[in-house]
Structure 1
Amino acid sequence: MLTLKQLETFVQVVELGTFERASQRLNATQSTVSKRISELEQATGLPLFDRSRRSARLTEEGERLLELAYATLEGAKQILELNEKPDRTLHRVRIGFTELAALTWLPGFLRDYTTERPDIRLDITIDMSRTLYQQFQDGELDLVVIPQVPEAFAQPGVEAQLLEEVEMAFMAREGLVGDPSPVSFRALERYPLISQGKRSGFAHDINRWLSHQGMTASNLTADNLLALVGLVAAGRGISVFPKLCVQRFAREQGLEILETSPPLPTIGYYALYHGGVRISLFEELALRLASAADFTSPFFFSEHSLSRSESHSSEGM
């Protein structure tokens, strides 16, 4: 007999990629998960997974059943909610952000969104992008805002919404690099390269791109973005920063932007979420995040400070 438990288990296995992760999400044993999948295959008469592969890869029949499973579970959810009053419904969304979002647009978004949607509780995690992505894969987070992770786009059931392309640039303490602009990468190799660690998504992408340009790996790492700014301001080396964000207070910290040839690539920041029974809620939230995302303005940098910095910059020209 076909049951909702079987369909729910099937969806979780597909979304999380393995029977083990599905069992953790469902708080069930792996044998229970396997049994439900076997019962579902017996009830439908369809082979749902390719057993020749280590991961839970769907067959063509499984792909067709997945869409119907989503629709069935959503319908069941709506039926069970018929007797609930809207003012008693509270949706909990576990969402992860990187430090760059927390330093720029996230505080304003949380202030406004809490007022707009009192029916939604956002449980916030701030961490490095690779850590957030692992928590997303393990089912510990429902939605993450991180730089593009290529492997995520190949996973079934994972949806992505582009929030913003972030411009990157090399920076150094004023006067440290005396080469004429634009500076070549060969010239930059004379200076220690400081970057965020391996858990940083944008550092991973930038370092890989730099290696293709012939630059060696960084000499020093610091996971905290503001600590990284401090190290560069102290003259310990050069680093790559989100250009417009750090530019807002770069002069006050004694930093200058190094124009390079070729220029650094932009880094796309995405909202990633699972396409399950709550996909409409996650889609709406992702679109709201896209409208709020602005990685160029530090929330702690006042308009007065900005005007004073720009005035000082114009006087020095």
Structure 2
Amino acid sequence: MLNLKFLETFVWVARLRSFTLAANRMNATQAAISSRIAALETELGVKLFLRDHKKITLTPEGLNILARAEPLLKSARSLVDDLSGAGWLHGTVRIGVIDTISFTWLVDLIRSSKAQFPQINIEITADTTLRLVNLLAAGEIDVALIMGPVLEQGYLSVELCSYACHWVASPMLGLGGRASLDQIARFPIVSFPKGSQPHAAITRFFEQFPRDDHVIYTANSLATIIRMTADGIGVAAIPPVVAERELARGELELIDAQQPIPPMRLHAVYFDGPAQLIPATIAELARQVAHDFCQHSNPDWAWDRPSAGRSGSGPLA
């Protein structure tokens, strides 16, 4: 009888084109992955992969079996779901999350998961969107809560919510809540890290203000960005919803000026492969939690559906 575990292993190797990445994805050793593939080839009586020192490719027989294996595994997963129900889920899910979400509703997500799926263990990795997408591709996390979507084939992106971005500064800078763009350009800009969508938008935005002495400070920690801005190091464009306490205490103030960063679109992204019930469940739970968070937030700062005409909206490449 065909071993579904071996068939699942074959699908992961075929999708990732790597025994090492498949081993990471399935929490197995590379030797175990190789052994499963060898056993499957023996059982089917065909060669599935061509290997050399640089890459692996599917044989014609392998391509044919892949086309049939994926629907078979999805049907098997659906059967298990119908018989057991999501409440019986158990295992470990590795969630990658950006600070923008950590500062708002990540704790609510963990609490909801604990209440609904008490047998699911959660491992959190906090990092930038770019780094988390790489970790997802390498099989080191199962679902990424990031600025998305990810449009590459093989990924599913569940839209969660959007956050508006606004200029903020310390009152000690004396901007008085209103400033021209030229005034803002005279201060250092405290920005998200290079390679991020917000940093790219900031860079493009300030190309209209060529200054030899213009300074941008970058940090991959939102807490650091908020602290530097509140201490008067410079001006930042961030979602106000992540700095509500600092705004309420008067440590930061909103600056009325043209916004350089369009709204941040947040997504839950996971690999569309077999045996992805837990990541899919967490992604859907994140959507529900984000919706609840937005219902209790300033509607100009956070919303759970795209909306033309919001403050600061615009294309972001």
Give TM-score, length-normalised by structure 2: 0.71
After superposition, residues 1-317 of structure 1 pair within 5 angstroms as 4=4, 7-25=7-25, 26-29=28-31, 32=34, 36=38, 39=41, 43=45, 65-66=65-66, 68-74=68-74, 90-148=90-148, 152-154=150-152, 156-174=153-171, 176=173, 178=175, 181=178, 183-184=180-181, 186-198=182-194, 204-213=196-205, 214=207, 219-261=216-258, 264-293=261-290, 294=293
What residue identity is the alignment partner of 1:244?
V
Answer whether contact 1:19 1:33 (CA < 8 A) is retained. no
Please give the alpha-carbon distance, in whole angstroms, between the structure 1 residues aligned to 2:73 and 2:86: 20
What residue identity is the alignment partner of 1:174?
P
Answer whether contact 1:164 1:268 (CA < 8 A) is retained. yes
Structure 2 unaligned segments of length 5 or more: list them. Answer: 298-317
Structure 1 unaligned segments of length 5 or more: list them. Answer: 298-317
Please give the alpha-carbon distance, in whole angstroms, between the structure 2 residues aligned to 1:160 and 1:237: 34
Instruction: Give the drift of 1:104.
Output: 1.5
Q: SS at the partner of 2:125?
A: strand
Instruction: Give the drift of 1:17.
Output: 4.7
What residue identity is the alignment partner of 2:131?
T
Answer whether contact 1:93 1:123 (CA < 8 A) is retained. yes
Answer whether contact 1:168 1:267 (CA < 8 A) is retained. yes
Please give the alpha-carbon distance, in whole angstroms, between the structure 2 residues aligned to 1:279 and 1:7: 15
Answer whether contact 1:93 1:142 (CA < 8 A) is retained. yes
Answer whether contact 2:167 2:254 (CA < 8 A) is retained. yes
What residue identity is the alignment partner of 1:157?
G
Please give the alpha-carbon distance, in whole angstroms, between the structure 2 residues aligned to 1:100 and 1:74: 33
User: What are the superposed Cα offsets for residues 162-213 of structure 1, whole Å, 9 maximum, x if unpaired?
Assistant: 11111111211126264995632x4422111112334xx7xx1112112222
Please give the alpha-carbon distance, in whole angstroms, between the structure 2 residues aligned to 1:70 and 1:278: 10
Q: SS at the partner of 1:110?
A: helix
Aligned residues: 287
Answer whether contact 1:192 1:238 (CA < 8 A) is retained. yes
Instruction: Give the drift of 1:220.
Output: 2.2
Aligned-residue identity in percent = 24
What residue identity is the alignment partner of 2:191?
S
CA 1:211–1:127: 2 relative to 1, 3 Å: closer
Answer whether contact 2:46 2:61 (CA < 8 A) is retained. no
Please give the alpha-carbon distance, in whole angstroms, between the structure 2 residues aligned to 1:61 and 1:166: 48
Instruction: Give the drift of 1:34.
Output: 11
Instruction: Give the drift of 1:265.
Output: 0.3
What residue identity is the alignment partner of 1:189?
A
Answer whether contact 2:9 2:37 (CA < 8 A) is retained. no
Q: SS at the partner of 2:34?
A: helix
CA 1:31–1:10: 2 relative to 1, 3 Å: closer
Give the aligned partner of residue 312 of structure 1.
none
Answer whether contact 1:14 1:157 (CA < 8 A) is retained. no
CA 1:81–1:146: 2 relative to 1, 3 Å: closer
What residue identity is the alignment partner of 1:190?
R
Answer whether contact 1:13 1:56 (CA < 8 A) is retained. no
Moved more, 212-221 or 243-252: 212-221
CA 1:218–1:44: 2 relative to 1, 3 Å: farther
Answer whether contact 1:9 1:37 (CA < 8 A) is retained. no
Answer whether contact 1:172 1:233 (CA < 8 A) is retained. yes
Please give the alpha-carbon distance, in whole angstroms, between the structure 1 residues aligned to 2:113 and 2:257: 39
Answer whether contact 2:13 2:19 (CA < 8 A) is retained. yes
Please give the alpha-carbon distance, in whole angstroms, between the structure 2 residues aligned to 1:206 and 1:86: 37
Instruction: Give the drift of 1:100.
Output: 2.4
Give TM-score, length-normalised by structure 1: 0.71
User: What are the superposed Cα offsets for residues 270-312 of structure 1, whole Å, 9 maximum, x if unpaired?
Assistant: 1111222223443332121111123786xxxxxxxxxxxxxxx
